[in-house]
Amino acid sequence: MSTIFVLNGPNLNLLGTREPAIYGSTTLADVDALCVAEAAKFGLTADCRQSNHEGVLVDWIHEAGKLQKAGKLAGVVLNAGAYTHTSLAIADAVRGTGVSLIEVHITNVHAREAFRHHSFLSPIARGVIVGLGPQGYALAIAALAASAPKA
């Protein structure tokens, strides 16, 4: 069975309590459960992880690249949080590994502060989903599942 990594960056562990007027009341545990259920619909497993540390996210992307090359990973769903707008290291990891990545944001970053309008990930992502709330994760999983290696 193939896997999909669902990686969440800084402060996403605060979902449900962090600025609920912006991010809603859904918790990260709720998002993880949604991702596991969505992946299962396609016969895949979702490996959900969150870190506030850039290097940890880079290491996970390296791991994902190796697994995808071995035919064991369909790709990565990544909500890099603020690192989307600042991290060349994460973008370089995606570029360097060649991993298939869907960038996801719960809010519409283009309707928010100007610094959130730029993404280092968008130019190298297979797709970008913004502003659809937690449902964006499910859509990203469906997109990766459509091109996943068949067992």
pTM score of the predicted model: 0.93
Residues of the binding site for substrate: 79, 85, 92, 106-107, 116
Q: Give the max Cα distance, the chain.
A: 44
Of 56 and 15, the structure prediction assigns the larger pLDDT to: 56
What's the pLDDT at 20? 82
Q: What are the backbone dihedrals phi and psi of residue 102, each rounded to the nearest 5 degrees, phi first?
A: -110, 120
What's the pLDDT at 139? 98
For the stretch 39-61, pLDDT in tens is 999 999 999 999 999 999 999 99
Helix axes 135-146, 28-41, angle to 10 degrees: 30
Nearest Cα neighbor of 102 from 46, 52, 27, 59 is 46
Instruction: Specify whether 53 is catalytic.
Output: no
What's the pLDDT at 109? 77
Domain that holds residue 33: 3-147
The one-letter code for the residue type at 19 is E
Average pLDDT over residues 110-120: 74
Residue 91 predicted with pLDDT over 90:
yes
Total structural domains within the chain: 1
Distance from chain centroid for Cα 132: 14
Instruction: Specify whether 117 is catalytic.
Output: no
d(CA 150, CA 65): 18
Given the residues 105, 110, 117, 137, select the one marked as catalytic. Answer: 105
* DSSP-derived secondary structure letter, 75: E
56-69: burial string, b at 16+ Cβ within 10 Å, e else: ebbebbebbbebbe
CATH number of the domain to which 87 belongs? 3.40.50.9100
Residues of the binding site: 79, 85, 92, 106-107, 116
